[in-house]
């Protein structure tokens, strides 16, 4: 099969054939505890009954109409998300990268509407916003960009978490119109900024007439212990992007906006053939219902604290562990050496984890895991890290 696929992924030698809750089963019927959730996609775990029922029912009724027509489920989903986020309007796409493309286009149009001919957007080092040409240009990871030059112009980069650096940009770059930032950097290594960072960015944006655009593609939909991570700061962005857990496996992304940003696009400015079709929107509505009815936002906050405490109990102070951090069910353990081989070691023991930024173990378990499963993840990771550090030299 691999001969007929482009080699765009370094795939692990395993094939999953079914899933149930937090468990995945391979083609030998061996089960694995999924502590990465399809990279934060399956917040409700695998084959969630309510989501599966919604998909099947909608597929039997109407899967797709184009955006030439009214889409009732799209209108309902837009209303639900805007109510949850305190926003005014939504645009639906197929992915997070497309949602960020919409945000970037809103910022540029906003700039032109304010008579700035070459608008610029402040983006952050070590960020990740997607792999389309514009979003990889915004991304702060040279590995993602290498080979695809010339990159899209119009991005100004700042160190993540450094509000003074953004203040310096404001003093010297009159063409800046927006800031695009993740409340928590996921791909960058579960990096959590200082508590007042987002508030500082909000103030700078207000002072200079910029749009504050938050990429909540990994941190949103309850994972951070709030519906959206920025709500912990008591602020409201002008633009917010979502995807991943919004569809629990059904491809869907969203760009939400409020105020002037919500009125920037006019017919013809942007669009998507599949974005916001009845099947994807009905699925996302079922996802929201399931998160709400099961109290999973609050559950993510409480469980995340317990898992973080467990990781600290097992690994804090151990030579080779440089940091343990987390927000809700976004958890990271940073080591002082490359540790990608831990993914294979964990898989051999029936546990699925991820390593990002080369030396950060990233845990993104489903929000539906029970206490015993959460403890099993903590115990498994602690044992793996201890064994790894005792058997490998410093990097």
> Does residue 319 have a known ligand-binding role?
no
> Does residue 353 have a known ligand-binding role?
no
> Does residue 96 have a known ligand-binding role?
yes
> Does residue 252 have a known ligand-binding role?
no
Of 31, 15, 12, nearest to 23 (Cα)? 31
Q: Which of 91, 128, 228, 388 is catalytic?
A: 128
Question: Does a cis peptide bond (omega within 30 degrees of 0) precede residue 354?
Answer: no
Q: Does the active-site annotation cover 370? A: no
Of 211, 178, 177, nearest to 87 (Cα)? 211
> Does residue 128 have a known ligand-binding role?
yes
> Does residue 260 have a known ligand-binding role?
no
3-state secondary structure of 35: coil
> Does residue 249 have a known ligand-binding role?
no
3-state secondary structure of 107: helix
Strands 16-20 and 23-26: antiparallel
Q: Does the active-site annotation cover 34? A: no
CB within 8 Å of 93: residues ≥ 6 apart? 99, 101, 102, 243, 252, 253, 254, 255, 272, 275, 276
> Does residue 173 have a known ligand-binding role?
no
Encode 1-26: b = buried (16+ Cβ within 10 Å), e = exposed. Answer: eeeeeeeeeeeeeeeeeebebbbbee
Q: Which of 155, 215, 228, 238 is catalytic?
A: 215
Q: Does the active-site annotation cover 215? A: yes
A 10 A CB-CB count for 30 gives 10
> Does residue 148 have a known ligand-binding role?
no
Q: Which of 34, 244, 265, 388 is catalytic?
A: 244
> Does residue 97 have a known ligand-binding role?
yes
Annotated binding site for N(2)-acetyl-L-ornithine: 131, 272
Q: Which residues are catalytic?
A: 128, 215, 244
Annotated binding site for pyridoxal 5'-phosphate: 96-97, 128, 215-218, 273
Annotated binding site: 96-97, 128, 131, 215-218, 272-273
């Amino acid at each position: 099969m691999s001969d007929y696929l482009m080699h765009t992924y370094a795939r692990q030698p395993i094939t999953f054939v079914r899933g149930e809750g937090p468990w995945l089963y391979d083609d030998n019927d061996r089960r694995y505890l999924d502590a990465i959730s399809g990279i934060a996609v399956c917040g409700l775990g695998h084959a969630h009954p309510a989501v599966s029922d919604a998909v099947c029912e909608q597929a039997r009724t109407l899967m797709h109409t184009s955006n030439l027509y009214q889409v009732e489920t799209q209108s309902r989903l837009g209303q639900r998300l805007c109510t949850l986020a305190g926003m005014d309007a939504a645009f639906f796409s197929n992915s997070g990268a497309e949602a960020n493309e919409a945000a970037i286009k809103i910022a540029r149009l906003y700039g032109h509407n304010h008579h700035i001919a070459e608008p610029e957007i402040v983006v952050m080092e070590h960020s990740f916003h997607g792999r389309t040409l514009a979003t990889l240009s915004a991304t702060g990871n040279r590995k993602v960009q290498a080979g695809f030059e010339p990159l899209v112009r119009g991005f100004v980069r700042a160190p993540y978490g450094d509000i003074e650096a953004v203040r310096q940009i404001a003093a010297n770059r009159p063409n800046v119109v927006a800031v695009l930032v993740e409340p928590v950097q996921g791909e960058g290594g579960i990096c959590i900024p200082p508590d007042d960072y987002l508030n500082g960015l909000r103030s700078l944006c207000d002072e200079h007439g910029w749009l504050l655009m938050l990429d909540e593609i990994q941190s949103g939909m309850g994972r951070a212990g709030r519906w959206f991570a920025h709500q912990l700061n008591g602020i409201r962005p002008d633009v917010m992007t979502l995807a991943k857990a919004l569809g629990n496996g059904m491809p869907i992304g969203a760009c939400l906006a409020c105020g002037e940003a919500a009125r920037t696009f006019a017919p013809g400015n942007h669009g998507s053939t599949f974005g916001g079709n009845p099947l994807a929107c009905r699925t996302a509505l079922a996802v929201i219902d399931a998160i709400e009815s099961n109290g999973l936002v609050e559950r993510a906050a409480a469980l995340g604290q317990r898992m973080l405490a467990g990781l600290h109990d097992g690994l804090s102070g151990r030579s080779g562990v440089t940091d343990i951090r987390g927000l809700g069910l976004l958890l990271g353990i940073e080591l002082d050496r490359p540790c990608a081989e831990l993914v294979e070691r964990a898989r051999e023991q029936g546990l699925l984890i991820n390593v990002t930024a080369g030396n950060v173990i990233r845990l993104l378990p489903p929000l539906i895991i029970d206490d015993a499963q959460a403890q099993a993840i903590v115990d498994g990771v602690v044992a793996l890290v201890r064994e790894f550090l005792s058997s490998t030299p410093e990097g």
